[in-house]
Amino acid sequence: MKSLSSGMKCVSILVIIVSGAFAGNAAAVKKEREYWPTQAWQSSPPEKQGMKADVLQDVVTAITEQWLPMHSILIVRNGYLVAEKYFDTYHEHSKHLVYSVTKSVVSALVGIAIEKGYLTGVDQPVLTVFPEHTIAHDLDRKRALTVEHLLTMQSGLEWREMVTPMHQSSDWVQFVLDLPLVADPGTTFNYCSGNIHLLSTMIGKTADTDTLSFARTHLFEPLGISDIHWELDPQGIPNGGW
């Protein structure tokens, strides 16, 4: 709880100080962006974007003096970067663990895979993508398991997040497919990283590639994201869960 409290205080300080950083009439600030960043944000003096440089500097000073657990702070106004500061050993090229943000990336890739026809839709039965796998438990009930159930954390699989040892197994996909059902698919919410790892696998199998290559082509490169490391499971499948 101590670290959570510190993080909440950090956010509160930023909100309070930044709220006083605007100068003049906000309506007078040009709202139309002259560009949209891909590889890099364009910088601008804060005053040109209707913000006070001295107040933004106060934000940086408060973070430094109070030893707040911040890696960096970047403030964008009207599409321009008006403040940028890194703390401790972090810098603009530092990679960060994004943990379960990965699940949101995979869910976006599922939508792209559906749009391109690799997956048939959110109602597609999961087991149709894994015909070569034997299923240890509840095969008949698992036939009802769909892409939507995985996306919405309603697979019904027996799973305790941070406890169920998928990452210790030699075959993560088989491990998840073999889990017993404790509820019928679509009836109960239970947060399960294994669900999203199955989705990562399904994207690669149906598109005849791997999730990272698929993501580079259809999501990362169009967004200007190029410097990526994605952990793989023992079979070389990008980890969908974190």
pLDDT of res. 33: 55
pLDDT of res. 41: 83
Q: What is the pLDDT along the chain (242 residues), one digit of tens a residue?
A: 333 333 333 443 444 444 456 555 544 444 555 666 666 788 999 999 999 999 999 999 999 999 999 999 999 998 889 999 999 999 988 988 899 999 999 999 999 999 999 999 999 999 999 999 999 999 999 999 999 999 999 999 999 999 999 999 999 999 999 999 999 999 999 999 999 999 999 999 999 999 999 999 999 998 888 899 999 999 999 999 99
CA dist 158 and 52 (Å) reads 53
Task: Reduce the DSSP state of residue 77 to 3 states and report it.
Answer: strand
In angstroms, what CA-CA distances link 77 with 18, 181, 217?
11, 49, 29
Beta-strand (E) ranges in the chain?
72-77, 80-86
**pLDDT tens, 77-129?**
988 899 999 999 999 889 888 999 999 999 999 999 999 999 999 999 999 99
pLDDT of res. 40: 76
Q: Encoding tokens for residue 196?
A: 């999203």
Burial class (CB in 10 A: 0-12, 13-18, 19+), 202: buried
pLDDT of res. 32: 55
Q: How many CA atoms lie within 13 A of 188 on its CB side?
A: 10
